[in-house]
Amino acid sequence: MNISIFGLGYVGCVSLGCLARNGHTVIGVDVSETKVKQINSGLATIIEKDIDHIIREEHNKCRISATTDYSRAILDTEISIVAVGTPSSATGHLNLEYIFKVAENFGRILRAKEQFHVIVIRSTVLPGTSAKFADIIEEYSGKRRNVDFAMVSNPEFLREGTAVHDYYHPPLTLIGSDSPEAAEKVASLYNHLPAEVVVTEVKVAELMKYVNNTFHALKVSFGNEIGNICSALKIDSHKVMEIFCKDKELNISPYYFKPGFAFGGSCLPKDLKGLQTLAHDHYVKTPLIESIDKTNDLQISRAVEMIQQTKKRKLGFLGLSFKAGTDDLRNSPAVALIETLLGKGYEIAIYDKNVHLSNLTGTNKEYIDTHIPHLSKLMKSQISELMHESEIIIVNNKEKEYIDILTNVEWSHPIIDMVRLPQEIREKKNYKGINW
């Protein structure tokens, strides 16, 4: 396939060499005549393990060239990869001046091209950038997206120092496009790699680089704060984290990475507070760990705001315990939410078959007596009774009973979902999820 790459910096140079090595004919484009001369002399534009050999070998095979001429590169290729820089401003916003200047050039040149052209944005960009790029092309060319040209978001996940290895051994290949033809064409560039090709919506693909790298930063900071606590206690921090990483069921897994309501229960809040106290007692600053419960509290505040926006006053809660299949009310976010709403004067009804007031003892009873002392007046024995009295339903855990009734019973009032109910319920017009 004939491919053009715009931008011969880090990502562009690695992509140029690796695509050529895979048998494609690749032309690089850059405003820097120095970089163009380097590629045309068989030299890499960056210092990176193995890329210098690849560029030299593929240049000798006549698979690689470079130019400053946008027109030649676009008209002579069927796929263009945009890998220009998107530096941050002092305020943290991206400078997209370069990428939108590229879009204007594409628009002017595609005006004269009859063949369907695919533009792949490999640069790190904010959600919505591909759509604006396409808007600019349409304005300057008179062409129509997904008819004469198509946009694809294909973010890179290359680490400096191991970029060539990462290119050939990705965890996955991510493609975002609303053109099946374009998505399939770009996917064909990666079909030989030992990783799943994931095709998704454009904005999802555009956001993923930020999500990935923010999580990597979070992991480094978390590891360092644990290390600082261990140091104060004269504990081997690397041994602690080595054991931590052995748990692939919960610690290193998808289990807790599901957006939804606040965490609760008897363990997470108690042990988080215990670690915070331990750090404090040893004069160790842990701002990341200190902020975890603040984020949790904000999720409860978010739920309050969503309920207030409905303008309804009679609320029905399905689920009171902190998760399905338990009667544990300690630190249940549902209890905290109900306590807040009671204080604001809302009428509240609650149904939870696992919570039997007559059986509440010990810490469960103490917790409820402190937070909702008149709970017995709010509990309903039947879901039908609760739905009859309520103007809005808030679902707090994923009991099958709640799913069945909301799937099969007509309910015209709002449903607010904290646990991500099945698709059939999420498609209802009166439905809203807490963060989806």
Closest by CA to 315, choosing from 287, 293, 341, is: 341
Residue 5: phi, psi to the nearest 5?
-125, 125
Pair 330, 387 in one domain:
yes
Give residue 96's pLDDT: 87
Give residue 85's pLDDT: 85
Give residue 422's pLDDT: 95
Full DSSP string of 232-264 = HTT--HHHHHHHHTT-TTTTTSSTT----S---
Pair 218, 161 in one domain:
no
Establish if 123 belongs to a structural domain.
Answer: yes
Residues forming beta bridges with residue 107, ordered by sequence position: none
Give residue 159's pLDDT: 87
**Pick from 200, 222, 241: which residue ends a domain?**
200
Helix (H) or strand (E) holding 73, with range, is helix 70-75
- Residue 405 to residue 383: CA distance in whole angstroms: 8
Residues forming beta bridges with residue 315, ordered by sequence position: 348, 392
- Residue 408 to residue 308: CA distance in whole angstroms: 27
Pair 335, 423 in one domain:
yes
Q: For the chain, what is the domain count?
A: 3
Establish if 291 belongs to a structural domain.
Answer: no
| Strands 415-417, 431-433: pairing kind | parallel
CA 216 to chain centre: 13
Pair 314, 206 in one domain:
no
Give residue 357's pLDDT: 64
Give the predicted TM-score (pTM) of the model.
0.85
Establish if 377 belongs to a structural domain.
Answer: yes
328 touches 364 (CB < 8 A)? yes
Give residue 363's pLDDT: 67
Pair 248, 355 in one domain:
no
Pair 177, 319 in one domain:
no
CA 165 to chain centre: 24
Structure-token pair, residue 18: 């690796």
Centre a 10 Å sphere on the Cβ of residue 400 and count the other Cβ atoms it contains.
9
Using DSSP, state whether 124 is helix, strand or coil: coil
Establish if 253 belongs to a structural domain.
Answer: yes
- Residue 291 to residue 285: CA distance in whole angstroms: 12
Helix (H) or strand (E) holding 424, with range, is helix 423-426
Give residue 370's pLDDT: 81
Establish if 275 belongs to a structural domain.
Answer: no
Question: CA dist 60 to 5, 54, 164, 264, 436, Å?
Answer: 19, 10, 19, 62, 51
Establish if 59 belongs to a structural domain.
Answer: yes
Pair 362, 407 in one domain:
yes
Give residue 360's pLDDT: 61
Range of the domain at 212: 202-257
Establish if 271 belongs to a structural domain.
Answer: no
Pair 171, 208 in one domain:
no
Q: What is the CATH number of the domain that holds 61?
A: 3.40.50.720
Helix (H) or strand (E) holding 393, with range, is strand 392-395
Pair 310, 409 in one domain:
yes
Which regions in the chain score pLDDT beneath 50? none
Catalytic residue positions?
Answer: 267
Pair 211, 195 in one domain:
no
Alpha helices in 142-201 (DSSP H): 163-168, 180-187
Pair 59, 189 in one domain:
yes
Pair 22, 36 in one domain:
yes
**Pick from 161, 180, 200: which residue ends a domain?**
200
Establish if 277 belongs to a structural domain.
Answer: no
Question: CA dist 51 to 156, 163, 170, 298, 309, Å?
Answer: 16, 9, 17, 47, 55
- Residue 304 to residue 340: CA distance in whole angstroms: 8
